[in-house]
Amino acid sequence: MKVYAIELTLRAPWVHSLKEKRMILKSILNKLHNKFNISVGEIAKQDDHQLLVIGIVGLALTTRQLESRMEEIITFIDETTEAEIIEIKKEKDFY
């Protein structure tokens, strides 16, 4: 079993309130959880209305599946949100 973690930082310069940010964030988190069956949540910058830092954790059976799934998730976020991905941190824990 392989465990992976991704930390994504996104910038949404058009957001002007925390309420707007929460709406965007909730949409992204729900889509990710439903499509990929992963654990996902906001992990930092909760008070900054233009930055979203999302933590993602999932499982894979093989290294190939792990790499593929991480790329699918990043591509999905890039294609389904207007926010710009400004930083990606990936970690893999092999068991």
The count of domains in the chain is: 1
pLDDT computed for residue 86 by the predictor? 95
Between CA 15 and CA 5, with CA 30 as vertex, the angle to 5 degrees is: 95
The CA distance from 69 to 82, in Å, is 21
The number of CA neighbours under 13 Å toward the Cβ of 81 is: 29
Give the domain range for residue 62: 2-94
Supply the pTM of this predicted model: 0.87
Per-position pLDDT tens, the chain of length 95: 889 999 999 999 999 999 999 999 999 999 999 999 899 999 998 889 899 999 999 999 988 999 999 999 999 999 998 899 999 999 887 55
pLDDT value, residue 70: 93
Q: What is the CATH number of the domain that holds 64?
A: 3.30.70.1120
What's the confidence (pLDDT) of residue 94? Answer: 58
